[in-house]
Structure 1
Amino acid sequence: MTAAPPPRGSRRPSRPHGEASPARQAIAAATSGLAWSAGASALLRALPRCRRLERPNYQGRTVSLRGGIATAIGATAAAGRAGALARPSALTARSGAAAVIAASAGGAAGLIDDLDAGAHDGQAPAKGLAGHLGALWRGRVTTGALKIAIIGSGALISGALLARRRAPAARPRALVADAAVSATVIGAWANVHNLLDLRPGRALKASALISAPLLAWPGQAAAPTRALAASALGVAAASAPEDLGERTMLGDTGANSLGALVGAALAAAPSRAFRHGAAVTGVALILASERVSFSRVIDSTPALAALDALGRRDR
Protein backbone atom coordinates (compact mmCIF):
# COMPACT_ATOMS: atom_id res chain seq x y z
CA MET A 1 0.00 0.00 0.00
CA THR A 2 1.51 3.33 -1.07
CA ALA A 3 1.56 6.32 1.21
CA ALA A 4 -0.65 9.27 0.36
CA PRO A 5 1.17 12.29 -1.04
CA PRO A 6 1.59 15.19 1.35
CA PRO A 7 -0.94 18.01 1.14
CA ARG A 8 -0.27 20.61 -1.53
CA GLY A 9 1.86 23.46 -0.25
CA SER A 10 3.35 21.42 2.61
CA ARG A 11 6.69 20.88 0.92
CA ARG A 12 9.46 23.37 1.15
CA PRO A 13 11.13 24.31 -2.12
CA SER A 14 14.03 21.97 -2.71
CA ARG A 15 17.51 23.31 -3.23
CA PRO A 16 19.40 22.52 -6.37
CA HIS A 17 21.48 19.36 -6.14
CA GLY A 18 24.75 19.99 -4.34
CA GLU A 19 23.80 23.38 -2.89
CA ALA A 20 24.38 23.79 0.82
CA SER A 21 22.03 25.65 3.14
CA PRO A 22 22.74 29.34 3.79
CA ALA A 23 23.85 28.51 7.33
CA ARG A 24 26.31 25.87 6.14
CA GLN A 25 27.61 28.19 3.43
CA ALA A 26 28.20 30.92 6.01
CA ILE A 27 29.97 28.53 8.40
CA ALA A 28 32.14 27.18 5.59
CA ALA A 29 33.03 30.70 4.44
CA ALA A 30 33.89 31.84 7.97
CA THR A 31 35.96 28.70 8.58
CA SER A 32 37.80 29.28 5.32
CA GLY A 33 38.67 32.85 6.28
CA LEU A 34 39.84 31.78 9.72
CA ALA A 35 41.88 28.86 8.39
CA TRP A 36 43.62 30.82 5.64
CA SER A 37 44.53 33.73 7.91
CA ALA A 38 45.66 31.49 10.76
CA GLY A 39 47.68 29.32 8.39
CA ALA A 40 49.37 32.31 6.79
CA SER A 41 50.13 33.75 10.21
CA ALA A 42 51.69 30.49 11.40
CA LEU A 43 53.84 30.28 8.26
CA LEU A 44 55.04 33.87 8.61
CA ARG A 45 55.88 33.31 12.29
CA ALA A 46 58.10 30.39 11.29
CA LEU A 47 60.14 32.54 8.89
CA PRO A 48 63.25 34.41 10.09
CA ARG A 49 62.62 37.74 11.78
CA CYS A 50 62.38 40.63 9.32
CA ARG A 51 63.21 44.00 10.82
CA ARG A 52 61.76 45.79 7.81
CA LEU A 53 58.33 44.62 8.93
CA GLU A 54 58.72 45.90 12.48
CA ARG A 55 57.11 49.13 13.62
CA PRO A 56 56.48 50.89 16.95
CA ASN A 57 52.78 50.94 17.80
CA TYR A 58 50.87 53.70 19.55
CA GLN A 59 52.44 52.76 22.90
CA GLY A 60 55.96 52.41 21.55
CA ARG A 61 55.92 48.61 21.57
CA THR A 62 57.65 46.94 18.64
CA VAL A 63 55.13 44.95 16.60
CA SER A 64 55.34 43.19 13.25
CA LEU A 65 53.45 43.90 10.03
CA ARG A 66 53.39 40.17 9.31
CA GLY A 67 49.95 40.17 10.93
CA GLY A 68 48.68 42.47 8.20
CA ILE A 69 50.24 40.32 5.49
CA ALA A 70 48.55 37.22 6.95
CA THR A 71 45.24 39.10 7.09
CA ALA A 72 45.57 40.13 3.44
CA ILE A 73 46.40 36.58 2.36
CA GLY A 74 43.46 35.27 4.34
CA ALA A 75 41.06 37.89 2.97
CA THR A 76 42.04 37.23 -0.64
CA ALA A 77 41.99 33.44 -0.35
CA ALA A 78 38.75 33.41 1.62
CA ALA A 79 37.10 35.64 -0.99
CA GLY A 80 37.97 33.13 -3.68
CA ARG A 81 36.75 30.25 -1.55
CA ALA A 82 33.49 32.07 -0.85
CA GLY A 83 32.95 32.39 -4.59
CA ALA A 84 33.20 28.62 -4.95
CA LEU A 85 31.03 27.64 -2.00
CA ALA A 86 27.62 28.51 -3.43
CA ARG A 87 28.18 27.51 -7.02
CA PRO A 88 26.30 26.78 -9.17
CA SER A 89 23.52 28.82 -7.58
CA ALA A 90 23.32 32.44 -6.48
CA LEU A 91 26.97 33.21 -5.77
CA THR A 92 28.43 33.23 -9.28
CA ALA A 93 32.03 33.34 -10.37
CA ARG A 94 31.79 37.11 -10.85
CA SER A 95 31.00 37.75 -7.19
CA GLY A 96 33.95 35.73 -5.98
CA ALA A 97 36.26 37.23 -8.58
CA ALA A 98 35.15 40.74 -7.64
CA ALA A 99 35.99 40.15 -3.98
CA VAL A 100 39.35 38.56 -4.83
CA ILE A 101 40.33 41.54 -6.99
CA ALA A 102 39.20 44.02 -4.32
CA ALA A 103 41.01 42.28 -1.45
CA SER A 104 44.22 41.64 -3.40
CA ALA A 105 44.36 45.22 -4.69
CA GLY A 106 43.89 46.52 -1.14
CA GLY A 107 46.59 44.22 0.19
CA ALA A 108 49.10 45.00 -2.57
CA ALA A 109 48.58 48.77 -2.31
CA GLY A 110 48.85 48.63 1.47
CA LEU A 111 52.04 46.57 1.36
CA ILE A 112 53.70 49.11 -0.95
CA ASP A 113 52.80 51.88 1.47
CA ASP A 114 53.89 49.89 4.53
CA LEU A 115 57.28 48.90 3.10
CA ASP A 116 57.97 52.42 1.87
CA ALA A 117 57.15 53.86 5.31
CA GLY A 118 56.94 57.39 3.94
CA ALA A 119 60.44 57.36 2.43
CA HIS A 120 59.17 58.83 -0.84
CA ASP A 121 56.88 61.41 0.73
CA GLY A 122 59.59 64.03 1.19
CA GLN A 123 60.40 66.10 4.27
CA ALA A 124 56.73 66.96 4.84
CA PRO A 125 54.81 63.65 4.61
CA ALA A 126 51.34 63.98 3.11
CA LYS A 127 48.47 63.06 5.40
CA GLY A 128 44.88 62.22 4.60
CA LEU A 129 43.11 62.11 1.27
CA ALA A 130 43.48 65.86 0.73
CA GLY A 131 47.19 65.75 1.50
CA HIS A 132 47.97 62.99 -0.99
CA LEU A 133 45.81 64.49 -3.74
CA GLY A 134 47.33 67.89 -3.06
CA ALA A 135 50.83 66.47 -3.40
CA LEU A 136 49.82 64.80 -6.65
CA TRP A 137 48.47 68.13 -7.95
CA ARG A 138 51.88 69.67 -7.25
CA GLY A 139 53.58 66.91 -9.24
CA ARG A 140 54.73 64.71 -6.34
CA VAL A 141 53.53 61.11 -6.39
CA THR A 142 53.29 59.76 -2.85
CA THR A 143 52.75 56.14 -1.95
CA GLY A 144 49.37 57.25 -0.64
CA ALA A 145 48.43 58.52 -4.09
CA LEU A 146 49.66 55.26 -5.59
CA LYS A 147 47.53 53.40 -3.08
CA ILE A 148 44.46 55.41 -4.10
CA ALA A 149 45.11 54.49 -7.73
CA ILE A 150 45.60 50.77 -7.07
CA ILE A 151 42.67 50.35 -4.70
CA GLY A 152 40.50 52.54 -6.93
CA SER A 153 41.33 50.48 -10.02
CA GLY A 154 40.59 47.24 -8.20
CA ALA A 155 37.34 48.66 -6.88
CA LEU A 156 36.28 49.76 -10.39
CA ILE A 157 36.89 46.30 -11.84
CA SER A 158 35.13 44.66 -8.89
CA GLY A 159 32.19 47.07 -9.15
CA ALA A 160 31.82 46.32 -12.86
CA LEU A 161 31.80 42.56 -12.21
CA LEU A 162 29.16 42.91 -9.48
CA ALA A 163 26.99 45.15 -11.67
CA ARG A 164 27.13 42.65 -14.53
CA ARG A 165 26.22 39.84 -12.15
CA ARG A 166 23.14 41.66 -10.90
CA ALA A 167 21.76 42.78 -14.25
CA PRO A 168 23.58 41.26 -17.23
CA ALA A 169 20.96 42.59 -19.65
CA ALA A 170 20.74 46.12 -18.21
CA ARG A 171 21.35 49.19 -20.34
CA PRO A 172 24.94 50.49 -20.43
CA ARG A 173 24.05 53.67 -18.51
CA ALA A 174 22.46 51.64 -15.71
CA LEU A 175 25.42 49.26 -15.58
CA VAL A 176 27.89 52.15 -15.37
CA ALA A 177 25.92 53.80 -12.56
CA ASP A 178 25.66 50.54 -10.61
CA ALA A 179 29.36 49.79 -11.12
CA ALA A 180 30.31 53.30 -9.95
CA VAL A 181 28.30 52.96 -6.75
CA SER A 182 29.71 49.50 -6.03
CA ALA A 183 33.25 50.70 -6.68
CA THR A 184 32.69 53.63 -4.31
CA VAL A 185 31.48 51.26 -1.60
CA ILE A 186 34.53 49.00 -1.94
CA GLY A 187 37.10 51.79 -2.14
CA ALA A 188 35.55 53.85 0.65
CA TRP A 189 35.29 51.03 3.17
CA ALA A 190 38.82 49.85 2.41
CA ASN A 191 39.96 53.35 3.34
CA VAL A 192 37.69 53.59 6.40
CA HIS A 193 39.23 50.41 7.83
CA ASN A 194 42.67 51.88 7.27
CA LEU A 195 41.66 55.08 9.08
CA LEU A 196 40.45 53.03 12.03
CA ASP A 197 43.65 50.99 12.35
CA LEU A 198 45.19 53.30 14.94
CA ARG A 199 44.60 51.06 17.95
CA PRO A 200 44.89 47.28 18.36
CA GLY A 201 41.75 45.45 17.26
CA ARG A 202 39.82 48.57 16.26
CA ALA A 203 39.60 47.84 12.52
CA LEU A 204 38.88 44.16 13.22
CA LYS A 205 36.00 45.05 15.52
CA ALA A 206 34.61 47.43 12.93
CA SER A 207 34.71 44.72 10.26
CA ALA A 208 32.91 42.31 12.59
CA LEU A 209 30.23 44.84 13.53
CA ILE A 210 29.57 45.57 9.87
CA SER A 211 29.72 41.98 8.63
CA ALA A 212 27.75 40.16 11.33
CA PRO A 213 24.32 41.73 10.57
CA LEU A 214 24.76 40.89 6.87
CA LEU A 215 24.59 37.18 7.72
CA ALA A 216 20.88 37.61 8.52
CA TRP A 217 20.00 39.00 5.07
CA PRO A 218 17.39 36.56 3.73
CA GLY A 219 16.92 35.27 0.23
CA GLN A 220 19.00 33.62 -2.45
CA ALA A 221 19.94 36.98 -3.98
CA ALA A 222 21.82 37.86 -0.80
CA ALA A 223 23.99 34.72 -0.91
CA PRO A 224 27.07 36.67 -2.12
CA THR A 225 26.73 39.18 0.71
CA ARG A 226 26.30 36.47 3.35
CA ALA A 227 29.26 34.40 2.14
CA LEU A 228 31.63 37.35 1.80
CA ALA A 229 30.57 38.77 5.18
CA ALA A 230 31.17 35.38 6.79
CA SER A 231 34.62 35.24 5.19
CA ALA A 232 35.45 38.65 6.65
CA LEU A 233 34.33 37.50 10.09
CA GLY A 234 36.59 34.46 9.88
CA VAL A 235 39.58 36.57 8.84
CA ALA A 236 38.93 39.06 11.65
CA ALA A 237 38.64 36.26 14.22
CA ALA A 238 41.95 34.73 13.13
CA SER A 239 43.74 38.09 13.19
CA ALA A 240 42.37 39.29 16.53
CA PRO A 241 44.56 37.42 19.10
CA GLU A 242 47.90 38.73 17.84
CA ASP A 243 46.56 42.16 16.96
CA LEU A 244 44.90 42.69 20.34
CA GLY A 245 47.94 41.19 22.08
CA GLU A 246 50.11 43.81 20.35
CA ARG A 247 52.43 41.26 18.81
CA THR A 248 51.46 42.28 15.29
CA MET A 249 49.55 45.05 13.58
CA LEU A 250 47.36 45.16 10.50
CA GLY A 251 49.04 48.14 8.93
CA ASP A 252 47.79 49.37 5.58
CA THR A 253 48.26 45.87 4.13
CA GLY A 254 45.78 44.11 6.39
CA ALA A 255 43.37 46.99 7.00
CA ASN A 256 42.93 47.84 3.32
CA SER A 257 42.55 44.22 2.26
CA LEU A 258 40.05 43.30 4.97
CA GLY A 259 38.19 46.58 4.43
CA ALA A 260 37.95 45.87 0.70
CA LEU A 261 36.50 42.43 1.46
CA VAL A 262 33.91 43.99 3.76
CA GLY A 263 33.23 46.58 1.06
CA ALA A 264 32.70 43.81 -1.49
CA ALA A 265 30.17 42.18 0.84
CA LEU A 266 28.31 45.50 1.11
CA ALA A 267 28.53 46.13 -2.64
CA ALA A 268 27.15 42.65 -3.39
CA ALA A 269 23.95 43.40 -1.46
CA PRO A 270 20.79 42.99 -3.56
CA SER A 271 19.24 46.28 -2.38
CA ARG A 272 20.16 49.33 -4.46
CA ALA A 273 19.12 51.68 -1.64
CA PHE A 274 21.39 49.80 0.76
CA ARG A 275 24.35 50.03 -1.63
CA HIS A 276 23.80 53.78 -2.06
CA GLY A 277 23.61 54.16 1.72
CA ALA A 278 26.84 52.22 2.18
CA ALA A 279 28.57 54.42 -0.42
CA VAL A 280 27.36 57.67 1.16
CA THR A 281 28.29 56.52 4.67
CA GLY A 282 31.78 55.41 3.66
CA VAL A 283 32.54 58.64 1.78
CA ALA A 284 31.10 60.74 4.63
CA LEU A 285 33.38 59.02 7.15
CA ILE A 286 36.43 59.64 4.96
CA LEU A 287 35.57 63.31 4.56
CA ALA A 288 34.89 63.62 8.28
CA SER A 289 38.30 62.13 9.06
CA GLU A 290 39.93 65.10 7.34
CA ARG A 291 38.67 67.35 10.13
CA VAL A 292 37.77 65.06 13.05
CA SER A 293 39.97 62.60 14.92
CA PHE A 294 38.23 59.22 15.16
CA SER A 295 40.38 58.35 18.18
CA ARG A 296 39.28 61.50 19.98
CA VAL A 297 35.61 60.77 19.26
CA ILE A 298 35.95 57.18 20.45
CA ASP A 299 37.87 58.10 23.60
CA SER A 300 35.30 60.75 24.54
CA THR A 301 32.32 58.39 24.09
CA PRO A 302 32.10 55.90 27.00
CA ALA A 303 30.35 53.12 25.08
CA LEU A 304 32.74 53.36 22.14
CA ALA A 305 35.75 53.62 24.43
CA ALA A 306 34.70 50.47 26.30
CA LEU A 307 34.22 48.57 23.03
CA ASP A 308 37.52 49.86 21.72
CA ALA A 309 39.41 48.65 24.80
CA LEU A 310 37.67 45.25 24.89
CA GLY A 311 40.22 42.45 24.69
CA ARG A 312 43.17 44.80 24.41
CA ARG A 313 46.39 44.06 26.27
CA ASP A 314 46.82 45.86 29.58
CA ARG A 315 49.26 48.73 29.46
Structure 2
Amino acid sequence: MVFSSGRVPGALVAAGATRGVYRTLRAKPPGGSARWQRKNHAGRTVDLHGGLAVAAGVALATAVTPGLPSRTRAAALLATAAAAACGAYDDQAGSAAERGLRAHLRALAEGRVTSGAVKLLGIGAAGLAAGALIARRPVDVALAGVVVAGSAHLVNLLDVAPGRAAKAVLAAGAPGVLRGGPAGTLAVAPVAAAAAVLADDLRERTMLGDTGAHALGAALGVSIVTANGRTGRALHAAVLLALAAVGDRVSYGDALWTAPGIREVDTWGRLPC
Protein backbone atom coordinates (compact mmCIF):
# COMPACT_ATOMS: atom_id res chain seq x y z
CA MET A 1 0.00 0.00 0.00
CA VAL A 2 2.83 2.40 0.87
CA PHE A 3 4.31 2.08 -2.61
CA SER A 4 1.06 2.41 -4.54
CA SER A 5 -0.77 5.32 -6.13
CA GLY A 6 2.24 7.43 -6.95
CA ARG A 7 3.83 7.60 -3.52
CA VAL A 8 7.35 6.80 -4.71
CA PRO A 9 7.16 9.17 -7.74
CA GLY A 10 5.67 11.83 -5.50
CA ALA A 11 8.43 11.47 -2.93
CA LEU A 12 11.13 11.58 -5.59
CA VAL A 13 9.66 14.68 -7.24
CA ALA A 14 9.17 16.50 -3.93
CA ALA A 15 12.66 15.73 -2.63
CA GLY A 16 14.38 16.27 -5.99
CA ALA A 17 12.63 19.56 -6.72
CA THR A 18 13.28 20.81 -3.19
CA ARG A 19 17.00 20.09 -3.44
CA GLY A 20 17.21 21.54 -6.95
CA VAL A 21 15.47 24.80 -6.02
CA TYR A 22 17.50 25.05 -2.83
CA ARG A 23 20.83 24.69 -4.65
CA THR A 24 19.76 27.19 -7.32
CA LEU A 25 18.74 29.80 -4.76
CA ARG A 26 21.96 29.40 -2.81
CA ALA A 27 24.01 29.81 -5.99
CA LYS A 28 22.11 32.86 -7.22
CA PRO A 29 19.66 34.35 -4.71
CA PRO A 30 17.13 36.73 -6.31
CA GLY A 31 17.85 40.32 -5.31
CA GLY A 32 21.12 39.39 -3.61
CA SER A 33 21.96 37.21 -0.64
CA ALA A 34 21.31 39.88 2.02
CA ARG A 35 17.60 39.90 1.21
CA TRP A 36 17.30 36.26 2.23
CA GLN A 37 19.51 36.23 5.33
CA ARG A 38 18.29 36.28 8.92
CA LYS A 39 19.73 35.82 12.40
CA ASN A 40 18.51 32.69 14.14
CA HIS A 41 18.00 31.91 17.82
CA ALA A 42 21.75 31.54 18.40
CA GLY A 43 22.70 34.69 16.50
CA ARG A 44 24.00 32.76 13.52
CA THR A 45 23.27 33.95 9.99
CA VAL A 46 21.05 31.57 8.03
CA ASP A 47 19.15 31.92 4.77
CA LEU A 48 15.47 31.51 3.93
CA HIS A 49 16.08 29.42 0.82
CA GLY A 50 14.91 26.22 2.51
CA GLY A 51 11.40 27.60 2.88
CA LEU A 52 11.09 28.62 -0.75
CA ALA A 53 12.51 25.24 -1.80
CA VAL A 54 10.09 23.11 0.20
CA ALA A 55 7.13 25.16 -1.00
CA ALA A 56 8.20 24.60 -4.61
CA GLY A 57 8.86 20.90 -4.02
CA VAL A 58 5.48 20.29 -2.40
CA ALA A 59 3.61 22.21 -5.10
CA LEU A 60 5.35 20.45 -7.98
CA ALA A 61 4.89 16.99 -6.49
CA THR A 62 1.22 17.68 -5.80
CA ALA A 63 0.73 18.89 -9.36
CA VAL A 64 2.29 15.89 -11.11
CA THR A 65 1.86 12.90 -8.79
CA PRO A 66 -0.62 10.36 -10.21
CA GLY A 67 -3.55 9.00 -8.24
CA LEU A 68 -5.18 12.22 -7.03
CA PRO A 69 -8.75 13.28 -7.88
CA SER A 70 -8.77 16.62 -9.68
CA ARG A 71 -10.63 18.52 -6.93
CA THR A 72 -8.37 17.11 -4.22
CA ARG A 73 -5.29 18.04 -6.21
CA ALA A 74 -6.64 21.54 -6.76
CA ALA A 75 -7.41 21.92 -3.05
CA ALA A 76 -3.88 20.91 -2.07
CA LEU A 77 -2.26 23.18 -4.64
CA LEU A 78 -4.42 26.13 -3.62
CA ALA A 79 -3.71 25.70 0.09
CA THR A 80 0.02 25.18 -0.39
CA ALA A 81 0.48 28.09 -2.79
CA ALA A 82 -1.59 30.52 -0.73
CA ALA A 83 0.11 29.55 2.53
CA ALA A 84 3.54 29.93 0.93
CA ALA A 85 2.65 33.30 -0.59
CA CYS A 86 1.30 34.66 2.71
CA GLY A 87 4.34 33.32 4.53
CA ALA A 88 6.70 34.88 1.99
CA TYR A 89 5.01 38.23 2.48
CA ASP A 90 5.54 37.99 6.23
CA ASP A 91 9.15 36.86 5.78
CA GLN A 92 9.85 40.02 3.79
CA ALA A 93 7.53 42.56 5.39
CA GLY A 94 6.98 41.24 8.91
CA SER A 95 8.13 43.00 12.05
CA ALA A 96 9.63 41.28 15.08
CA ALA A 97 7.84 43.84 17.25
CA GLU A 98 4.47 42.16 16.70
CA ARG A 99 4.54 38.40 16.99
CA GLY A 100 1.87 35.93 17.97
CA LEU A 101 -1.79 35.50 17.18
CA ARG A 102 -2.98 37.78 20.00
CA ALA A 103 -0.77 40.66 18.85
CA HIS A 104 -2.12 40.50 15.30
CA LEU A 105 -5.73 40.24 16.43
CA ARG A 106 -5.18 43.21 18.76
CA ALA A 107 -3.74 45.21 15.86
CA LEU A 108 -6.78 44.35 13.73
CA ALA A 109 -9.06 45.54 16.51
CA GLU A 110 -7.16 48.83 16.45
CA GLY A 111 -7.64 49.12 12.69
CA ARG A 112 -4.09 48.14 11.74
CA VAL A 113 -3.39 45.31 9.29
CA THR A 114 -0.11 43.60 10.15
CA SER A 115 1.69 41.06 7.97
CA GLY A 116 0.55 38.43 10.47
CA ALA A 117 -3.06 39.49 9.95
CA VAL A 118 -2.56 39.10 6.20
CA LYS A 119 -1.40 35.53 6.88
CA LEU A 120 -4.32 34.85 9.21
CA LEU A 121 -6.93 36.08 6.75
CA GLY A 122 -5.21 34.79 3.61
CA ILE A 123 -4.47 31.28 4.83
CA GLY A 124 -7.87 31.07 6.52
CA ALA A 125 -9.62 31.98 3.27
CA ALA A 126 -7.47 29.52 1.33
CA GLY A 127 -8.31 26.80 3.84
CA LEU A 128 -12.02 27.42 3.38
CA ALA A 129 -11.64 27.43 -0.41
CA ALA A 130 -9.71 24.15 -0.24
CA GLY A 131 -12.39 22.73 2.02
CA ALA A 132 -15.09 23.72 -0.45
CA LEU A 133 -13.28 21.70 -3.13
CA ILE A 134 -13.20 18.61 -0.91
CA ALA A 135 -16.43 18.81 1.12
CA ARG A 136 -19.98 19.91 0.36
CA ARG A 137 -21.76 20.71 3.61
CA PRO A 138 -20.95 24.09 5.19
CA VAL A 139 -19.94 22.56 8.52
CA ASP A 140 -17.42 20.29 6.78
CA VAL A 141 -16.04 23.20 4.76
CA ALA A 142 -15.61 25.21 7.97
CA LEU A 143 -13.87 22.33 9.75
CA ALA A 144 -11.58 21.85 6.77
CA GLY A 145 -10.66 25.52 6.83
CA VAL A 146 -9.74 25.31 10.52
CA VAL A 147 -7.64 22.16 10.00
CA VAL A 148 -5.72 23.57 7.03
CA ALA A 149 -5.08 26.99 8.59
CA GLY A 150 -4.44 25.48 12.02
CA SER A 151 -1.92 23.00 10.66
CA ALA A 152 -0.09 25.78 8.83
CA HIS A 153 -0.04 27.87 12.01
CA LEU A 154 1.17 24.99 14.19
CA VAL A 155 4.16 24.16 11.98
CA ASN A 156 5.06 27.83 11.96
CA LEU A 157 4.87 27.94 15.77
CA LEU A 158 7.45 25.16 15.87
CA ASP A 159 9.88 26.89 13.51
CA VAL A 160 11.85 28.59 16.30
CA ALA A 161 14.72 26.12 16.64
CA PRO A 162 16.80 24.37 13.95
CA GLY A 163 15.08 21.29 12.58
CA ARG A 164 12.15 21.37 15.00
CA ALA A 165 9.42 22.15 12.47
CA ALA A 166 10.85 19.79 9.84
CA LYS A 167 11.00 16.95 12.39
CA ALA A 168 7.41 17.67 13.41
CA VAL A 169 6.31 17.44 9.77
CA LEU A 170 8.09 14.10 9.42
CA ALA A 171 6.48 12.76 12.60
CA ALA A 172 3.00 14.08 11.84
CA GLY A 173 3.10 13.09 8.19
CA ALA A 174 4.52 9.57 8.55
CA PRO A 175 1.19 7.96 9.56
CA GLY A 176 -0.43 9.70 6.60
CA VAL A 177 2.14 8.27 4.20
CA LEU A 178 1.16 4.77 5.36
CA ARG A 179 -2.51 5.50 4.72
CA GLY A 180 -4.13 4.36 1.52
CA GLY A 181 -5.86 6.51 -1.06
CA PRO A 182 -5.44 10.18 -1.95
CA ALA A 183 -4.73 11.24 1.64
CA GLY A 184 -1.63 9.06 1.75
CA THR A 185 -0.48 10.35 -1.61
CA LEU A 186 -0.92 13.94 -0.43
CA ALA A 187 1.09 13.34 2.74
CA VAL A 188 4.15 12.18 0.81
CA ALA A 189 5.01 15.60 -0.65
CA PRO A 190 5.46 17.60 2.59
CA VAL A 191 7.24 14.69 4.29
CA ALA A 192 9.73 14.24 1.43
CA ALA A 193 10.29 17.99 1.05
CA ALA A 194 10.93 18.41 4.79
CA ALA A 195 13.36 15.49 4.75
CA ALA A 196 15.23 17.06 1.83
CA VAL A 197 16.20 20.17 3.82
CA LEU A 198 16.40 18.70 7.33
CA ALA A 199 20.19 18.35 7.38
CA ASP A 200 20.75 21.94 6.22
CA ASP A 201 18.18 23.18 8.73
CA LEU A 202 19.87 21.32 11.59
CA ARG A 203 23.31 22.57 10.57
CA GLU A 204 21.94 26.13 10.55
CA ARG A 205 22.65 26.82 6.92
CA THR A 206 19.00 27.53 6.18
CA MET A 207 15.60 27.80 7.84
CA LEU A 208 12.03 27.19 6.73
CA GLY A 209 10.77 30.63 7.67
CA ASP A 210 7.09 31.43 7.37
CA THR A 211 7.14 30.49 3.67
CA GLY A 212 8.20 26.91 4.21
CA ALA A 213 6.51 26.29 7.55
CA HIS A 214 3.11 27.48 6.34
CA ALA A 215 3.39 25.59 3.04
CA LEU A 216 4.31 22.30 4.75
CA GLY A 217 1.60 22.72 7.37
CA ALA A 218 -1.13 23.58 4.89
CA ALA A 219 -0.22 20.59 2.71
CA LEU A 220 -0.42 18.30 5.74
CA GLY A 221 -3.72 19.91 6.67
CA VAL A 222 -5.28 19.04 3.31
CA SER A 223 -4.06 15.45 3.75
CA ILE A 224 -5.72 15.29 7.18
CA VAL A 225 -8.97 16.72 5.82
CA THR A 226 -8.96 14.21 2.96
CA ALA A 227 -8.34 11.29 5.32
CA ASN A 228 -11.05 12.08 7.85
CA GLY A 229 -14.80 12.41 8.05
CA ARG A 230 -16.61 15.01 10.10
CA THR A 231 -15.74 13.55 13.49
CA GLY A 232 -12.05 13.26 12.70
CA ARG A 233 -11.93 16.76 11.25
CA ALA A 234 -13.69 18.15 14.32
CA LEU A 235 -11.21 16.45 16.66
CA HIS A 236 -8.22 17.74 14.69
CA ALA A 237 -9.74 21.23 14.56
CA ALA A 238 -10.28 21.26 18.33
CA VAL A 239 -6.69 20.21 19.03
CA LEU A 240 -5.27 22.75 16.60
CA LEU A 241 -7.37 25.57 18.05
CA ALA A 242 -6.23 24.65 21.56
CA LEU A 243 -2.58 24.66 20.48
CA ALA A 244 -3.04 28.02 18.74
CA ALA A 245 -4.48 29.45 21.96
CA VAL A 246 -1.31 28.50 23.87
CA GLY A 247 1.00 29.36 21.00
CA ASP A 248 3.84 30.86 23.08
CA ARG A 249 4.02 27.73 25.20
CA VAL A 250 4.17 25.57 22.08
CA SER A 251 6.93 27.72 20.61
CA TYR A 252 9.04 28.46 23.67
CA GLY A 253 7.74 26.36 26.54
CA ASP A 254 10.81 25.05 28.36
CA ALA A 255 8.76 22.48 30.25
CA LEU A 256 7.76 20.88 26.95
CA TRP A 257 11.01 21.03 25.00
CA THR A 258 13.28 20.03 27.89
CA ALA A 259 11.17 17.04 28.95
CA PRO A 260 13.04 13.70 28.81
CA GLY A 261 12.56 11.98 25.48
CA ILE A 262 11.30 15.11 23.75
CA ARG A 263 14.58 16.91 24.48
CA GLU A 264 16.65 14.15 22.87
CA VAL A 265 14.54 14.05 19.72
CA ASP A 266 14.34 17.82 19.48
CA THR A 267 18.09 18.43 19.80
CA TRP A 268 19.25 15.45 17.74
CA GLY A 269 21.56 16.61 14.93
CA ARG A 270 21.56 20.24 16.07
CA LEU A 271 24.71 22.32 16.50
CA PRO A 272 25.66 23.20 20.09
CA CYS A 273 24.57 26.72 21.05
TM-score with structure 1 setting the length? 0.81
Q: 2:144 aligns with which of 182, 192, 208?
A: 182
Q: Which protein is richer in helix relative to its size?
A: 2
1:107 aligns with 2:107: no
Unaligned runs of 5+ in 2: none
Aligned position for 1:51: 34
Shift of 1:28: 1.7
- For residues 126-184 of structure 1, give each alpha carbon's deviation from its aligned partner in whole angstroms, at most 9, with x where no partner exists: 221111011011011111001111111111110111114xxxxxxxxxx1111111111
Equivalent pairs, count: 270
- For residues 273-292 of structure 1, give each alpha carbon's deviation from its aligned partner in whole angstroms, at most 9, with x where no partner exists: 22222111111111122566
Equivalent residues of 1:211, 1:262 under 8 A apart: yes
- CA separation of 1:44/1:177 partners in 2, compared to 1, >3 Å: closer, same or farther? same
Shift of 1:294: 4.0
- CA separation of 1:32/1:293 partners in 2, compared to 1, >3 Å: closer, same or farther? closer
Shift of 1:299: 3.0
Structure number with greater Rg is: 1
Task: Tell me, in whole angstroms, the C-alpha distance in 1 between the residues paired with 2:228 and 2:149.
Answer: 19
Aligned position for 1:98: 75
Aligned position for 1:23: 3
Aligned position for 1:215: 177
Task: Tell me, in whole angstroms, the C-alpha distance in 1 between the residues paired with 2:61 and 2:256.
Answer: 30
Shift of 1:270: 3.8
Equivalent residues of 2:94, 2:116 under 8 A apart: no
Shift of 1:258: 0.7
Q: 1:303 aligns with which of 243, 261, 271?
A: 261
Unaligned runs of 5+ in 1: 1-20, 165-174
1:33 aligns with 2:18: no
Task: Tell me, in whole angstroms, the C-alpha distance in 1 between the residues paired with 2:154 and 2:257.
Answer: 18
Aligned position for 1:147: 119
Aligned CA RMSD, in angstroms, stands at: 1.7
Shift of 1:74: 1.3
Task: Tell me, in whole angstroms, the C-alpha distance in 1 between the residues paired with 2:90 and 2:98.
Answer: 12
TM-score with structure 2 setting the length? 0.93
Superposition pairs of residues 263-278 of structure 1, within 5 angstroms: 263-278=221-236
Q: Quote the sequence identity (%).
A: 38
Q: Which amino acid aligns with 1:37?
A: T
Shift of 1:298: 3.2
Superposition pairs of residues 65-104 of structure 1, within 5 angstroms: 65-82=48-65, 85-86=66-67, 91-104=68-81
Q: 1:259 aligns with which of 212, 217, 222?
A: 217
Equivalent residues of 1:81, 1:96 under 8 A apart: no
Q: Which amino acid aligns with 1:162?
A: I
Equivalent residues of 1:79, 1:261 under 8 A apart: no
